[in-house]
Each structure stands twice: as structure tokens, then as C-alpha cells.
Chains A and B, each alone.
Chain A
């Protein structure tokens, strides 16, 4: 199909590699949104998830927040935020963070709560106190699930940030939205390919990080649990 030749031509056009609308600039922009939202979400969701999982208080809330997050369409919320507050990084960032919190929170809670009671007892029997049990036992054991939540959120944020281009945010979604507006399909396809590759790359990098931070003994035993956690993930 001729569109593929057009896409190749689009990528090899020097205009795509220089200036504020260039591929590297849009890529950095997109990664910036995704990294900022994911980091803020981790800073909020991780402590809450750990606390709720460790104490067992508010567990139902932690689980339900994921269900609510799935039911609310992020596309609509992003547009509403822009219509009410105007296009700006901060309002959109808040919306992206709100949607990145549930998977991390729920997975952290589930991971910590799911630590075998005998393991927790053994830690206490060895003289560990509350936060020591959390730090040396519960967090390492729950790490595969926590990382699964972070992966889900990151990939989801990459997707939602693409949608945020529609009401005016930058990033790779701009190529798709602008291309649709001026009927430049080669640019639309190029943007879609870049977004898809970025999502896959983010997933791959985080999977590699997960291998580094998960203790070796757990890696095999918990592979199933981590895969299962992704089942509850949300697409955007």
C-alpha cells in the first residue's frame, strides 16, 4: 500500500528531526508527562498501599479504587479538565496521576496483604518490629506485584497522555491528532507507530528493572502472581 511508502517518506524527512515539533522533542515531551505522572502516583499510592496492606485497615477501599478507576473513562475526564481549567500541564498532570494511582495502590495492598502469615510470624519471632517487618519482609515479598502495578500504570499513562494531545497537550499524540485534522494519514500512522513502540519500550524497560529489584528466590515463585496482577490492569 502506498501509505507505507508515505510513512517511510515522513520518517526520512529531515523536518521530522529538527525543532520543537521533531520526533525527539515530542518523544521527550511524552516521556516527561509519563514519568512525572507515574512518579507522583508512586509517591502517593505506594505509602498508602503499604500502610493499608500492613495494617489491614481500609482494604476494601484499596480494592474498590481500582474498580472505580476502570469504570471512569480517562478520555472524558482529560477533556473535561481542559474545558474547565484551560489547557495547561498541571490540570492534565493531575488527571493522569489520578488514573495512575489505582493499579499501584491496589497491587501494593494485595501484595503486602498476601504475604504468607507464617513468614510474617517468623519475622516477628526473630524480633522484628512493625516497620522492620514491612521493610525487610513484606516489601521484598510483595515486590513482584508492586512492580506489576507500576508497569500497568506507566503503560496506561503513555496511552492516556496520547489522548491528552486531543485537547491540546504536546507529546507524540500531536502527530495523530494533527494528522487527522489535516488528513495527513502518513503522519497519523507515524505517530501511532511511535506511540505503540514507546508503550512497548516502557513495558520492556520496567520488566528489566523488575528483574533487578525482585529477589532471586521470589522471581520464580511469584512469576504467576505478577502475571495475574496484570490481568486486573486497565487499558486506555
Chain B
């Protein structure tokens, strides 16, 4: 089995703390590639997690007895440190993208499931009854009445899951995946802080931008909430 070739390096201090702008210029292409990879490694797990959590969440709303056990299982998985879950998966998925995608998806489940279920539970019973009385049933009532009302809470979950995933993706560099974590490794192996600064700044910028974009999307989808708060 081939593992990521993590060289044994004895850490040494003495990295010059300043920013090497010339390095950033020379490596702009490489930095861009890692950034795009990071975007992919964030969006795939959040999207997959959302699909799975929606199915689980709707099942838990329909059959409340499922909710406790589902929360326990996703909570248990959430507790397992990311590096441990990544390396355990090497046995099953090798050093493919799935080694990163599966654990990252698993970590979004607790956050998304909770918010989806709480969002749907927050729909006032009177609204649901009124919709039923107006002839809304089954999938139509969920899509046209309950989902819009649950959206703010559901979106809060998507935002937390996205920001959390952006941070966790950096760890997957240790199992041979790309993304901004590669810049952290570069900086470490060469005792050269510039790639670390770049990786940290881009990672935080990505998290903040994604959060704001999701917030804007939520506001656009739920125009009636804007006048309230």
C-alpha cells in the first residue's frame, strides 16, 4: 500500500517572519490550483452531506423516534478527530479524493441534521394545519409551505457546516489531498512562513466569503424575513 510520503523532518526554528512577496508572485498559479482544489474539497462534502442530512432529517421529522438515535450516531462520529478518520479510511479508499470527502461529509451531518430537523419543527402547527386545509399534502406541503419557513434555520446549519469544512480540508493534505493545507506543508518542510501566511489568509477569506454569500442567498430566498428582524 502506498502512503503519502511524509518525510521525517526535525522541526527547526528560524523561519524569517516576514512575507516573501516574490515567492507569492512566482507561485501564483500553484496557489490558485490549491485554492480551487480547496473549493472542490469543501463543496462536494457539504453538498453530499446536505443530501444525506435532508433524507435523514425528513425521516426524523416524520418519525420522531428516529431523531435521538440519529443525533447520537452523528454526534459520535463528529467527536472522532479528523486526522484519525482520514488515516483510517486509507485502508478502504487509498489516497483518493474519497479519503478526504467521506470524513468531511460525515462531519457535516450532525450540524446539518440538527438544523434541518429544528427548522422543520419550528414551523407553527397552525400554519401546517392551514396548509393542509387549503389542500396542500405530502411533498407539496413540504416544498411550498414548510421548507420556506424552515429555510433560515436550515441555512444557519449550511453556513456553520461550510465554514467548519473549509478549516478541516486543510488537514486532508496529510493524506495526500490538495487544497490550502498543501501550502502549510510547504511552509513547514522549508521552515518558510510565507506559504503559511498565504494559506491562512486565503482559508479565512474563503470562509468569510462563503459565509456572506450563503447569507445573501438565504436573504434572497426568504425576502419576508428581512423586514422582521
Contacts from A to B (Cβ < 8 Å): 1, 3, 67, 70-77, 79-80, 82-87, 155, 158-159, 162-163, 166-168, 173, 176-183, 185, 188-189, 191-193, 195-196, 199-200, 203, 227-228, 230-236
Determine which residue in B81, B110, B111 has the highest number of CB atoms from chain A within 10 A of its CB, and name it: B81
> Could you say which residues of chain A place their CB within 8 Å of the CB of B110?
230-231
> Could you say which residues of chain B place their CB within 8 Å of the CB of A77?
200
Evaluate contact between B174 and A166: CB separation under 8 angstroms: yes
CA distance A75 to B110 in the complex (A): 22
Evaluate contact between A231 and B11: CB separation under 8 angstroms: no
Interface of B is mostly: helix
Determine which residue in A75, A82, A167, A180 has the highest number of CB atoms from chain B within 10 A of its CB, and name it: A75
- Chain B residues 28 to 44 lying within 8 A of chain A, measured CB to CB, are none
CA distance A21 to B135 in the complex (A): 68
* Of B47-55, B122-130, B191-199, the one touching chain A: B191-199
Contacts from B to A (Cβ < 8 Å): 1-4, 6-8, 10-15, 17, 71, 75-76, 78-85, 87-88, 90-91, 107, 110-111, 114-115, 118, 157, 160, 163-164, 166-168, 170-171, 174, 180-181, 184-185, 187-188, 191-193, 196-197, 199-200, 203-204, 207-208, 211
CA distance A120 to B96 in the complex (A): 56
Evaluate contact between A189 and B79: CB separation under 8 angstroms: no
Evaluate contact between A235 and B115: CB separation under 8 angstroms: no
Closest 9 CB pairs of A and B: A86-B13, A159-B81, A71-B207, A192-B84, A168-B11, A87-B11, A83-B15, A73-B167, A195-B84
> Could you say which residues of chain A place their CB within 8 Å of the CB of B88?
189, 192-193, 196
Q: Which residue of chain B has its CB nearest to the CB of A86?
A: B13
CA distance A159 to B7 in the complex (A): 22
Determine which residue in B115, B157, B184, B208 has the highest number of CB atoms from chain A within 10 A of its CB, and name it: B184
**Which of A72, A168, A176 sits near B84, CB closer than 8 Å?**
A176
CA distance A113 to B1 in the complex (A): 54
CA distance A203 to B76 in the complex (A): 9
Q: Which residue of chain A has its CB nearest to the CB of B207?
A: A71
Evaluate contact between A86 and B87: CB separation under 8 angstroms: no
> Could you say which residues of chain A place their CB within 8 Å of the CB of B164?
70, 234-235
Evaluate contact between B91 and A1: CB separation under 8 angstroms: yes
CA distance A221 to B196 in the complex (A): 46
Evaluate contact between A188 and B90: CB separation under 8 angstroms: yes
20 chain-A/chain-B pairs, Cβ below 8 angstroms: A74-B167, A75-B171, A79-B185, A79-B187, A80-B187, A82-B13, A84-B13, A87-B13, A155-B79, A162-B81, A180-B4, A180-B6, A182-B8, A185-B1, A185-B3, A191-B87, A192-B85, A192-B87, A227-B114, A235-B78
> Could you say which residues of chain A place their CB within 8 Å of the CB of B90?
185, 188
Q: Which residue of chain B has its CB nearest to the CB of A72?
A: B204
> Could you say which residues of chain A place their CB within 8 Å of the CB of B10?
168
| Contact A231 B166, CB 8 Å, known A73-B203, A86-B12 | no
Evaluate contact between B160 and A70: CB separation under 8 angstroms: yes
Evaluate contact between B204 and A71: CB separation under 8 angstroms: yes
Evaluate contact between A231 and B207: CB separation under 8 angstroms: no
Evaluate contact between B75 and A3: CB separation under 8 angstroms: no
Evaluate contact between B207 and A75: CB separation under 8 angstroms: no
> Could you say which residues of chain B place their CB within 8 Å of the CB of A230?
75, 110
Evaluate contact between B111 and A231: CB separation under 8 angstroms: yes
Evaluate contact between A235 and B196: CB separation under 8 angstroms: no
Evaluate contact between A231 and B81: CB separation under 8 angstroms: no
Evaluate contact between A196 and B81: CB separation under 8 angstroms: yes
CA distance A173 to B82 in the complex (A): 11
CA distance A191 to B82 in the complex (A): 13
**Which of B85, B87, B196 sits near A76, CB closer than 8 Å?**
B196
For the A-B complex with A85-B13, A181-B6 known, give 10 more contacts whose Cβ atoms are closer than 8 Å.
Answer: A3-B91, A71-B207, A79-B196, A82-B11, A84-B193, A158-B81, A193-B88, A230-B110, A235-B164, A236-B168
**Which of A67, A189, A199 sits near B81, CB closer than 8 Å?**
A199
CB distance from A202 to the nearest CB of B (A): 9
CA distance A180 to B6 in the complex (A): 6
Evaluate contact between A80 and B11: CB separation under 8 angstroms: no
> Could you say which residues of chain B place their CB within 8 Å of the CB of A72?
167, 200, 203-204
